[in-house]
Amino acid sequence: MSFIETLMIAVGLAMDAFAVSLAAGTSGQAMGGRVAFRLSFHFGLFQFMMPVIGWFLGAAIAPQISSFDHWIAFALLVFVGVRMIRSGFDDRAETFAADPSRGLTLVVLAIATSIDALAIGLSLAMLRIKIWYPSVVIGVVTSGLSLFGLRLGTRLGARFGKRMEVAGGAILNLIGLRILVSHFFA
């Protein structure tokens, strides 16, 4: 697989993490260098790990995972997205009660945005392509785009306030819907 092909796959996989980072930035709770590092690092780490896990699982597990992986990703993204939309319409509520780059929220977001990378790993195993190089590229690209999305979201959130929080939640719901639609019509 060429570098350009690997980069295109990496950018495609990173779009969900970018959108989630954008939404986290609009919340106003994801501010500061440490938060940016934790969020971009974990999104990159999960995007790196999932293809490796998928590759090692190989074709034997693919049918079992493919029957429900889209539902898991959809449920996780919609859960967080609905919380954001509700918070955007409620002046008293906040999207994240605390820093979204910590704890269960971070794990849920990282898993939800990296499940499709698991399928890429399965595909690469079936094509007998070595996994380490593509996984590193996927992780680094995801980390960089997550950092960019967080910074952009922070600026948009400061400028447009709660409206961006509603938009961010809608984006997460649309990503979840896209995952379902692409599964059923692919």
Q: Which pLDDT tens digit goes with each residue over 20-74?
A: 888 778 776 667 788 889 989 999 999 999 999 988 887 566 567 667 767 766 7
On the question of pLDDT at 142 being above 90, the answer is yes
User: Which of 57-71, 72-86, 91-105, 147-161 has the lowest average pLDDT?
Assistant: 91-105
Domains in the chain: how many in total? Answer: 1
Q: What pLDDT is stored for residue 62 in this prediction?
A: 59
On the question of pLDDT at 138 being above 90, the answer is yes
Q: Give me the half-sphere count of Cα atoms (radius 13 Å) on the Cβ side of residue 62.
A: 15
Q: What pLDDT is stored for residue 46 in this prediction?
A: 95
Q: Is the dihedral of CA 18, 49, 12, 8 positive or negative?
A: positive
Q: With H, G, I as helix, E, B as strand and everything else as coil, classify residue 128.
A: coil
Q: What is the pTM of this model?
A: 0.71
Structural domain that includes position 52: 3-185
Helix/strand/coil (H, E, C) string of 58-112? Answer: HHHHHHHHHCCHHHHHHHHHHHHHHHHHHHHHCCCCCCCCCCCCCHHHHHHHHHH
- The conformation of residue 161, written as its DSSP 8-state character, comes to T
- Which residue from 112, 95, 107, 105 is spatially nearest to 23, judged by alpha carbons? 95
Cβ atoms of 93 and 29 within 8 Å: the answer is: no
Residue bearing tokens 């992986």: 69
User: Which of 9-13, 43-47, 167-171 has the lowest average pLDDT?
Assistant: 167-171
Q: How many Cβ atoms from other residues are within 10 Å of residue 156's Cβ?
A: 17
On the question of pLDDT at 135 being above 80, the answer is yes
User: Which of 42-46, 60-64, 91-95, 141-145 has the lowest average pLDDT?
Assistant: 91-95
Q: Is 97 exposed, middle or buried (0-12, 13-18, 19+ CB in 10 A)?
A: exposed
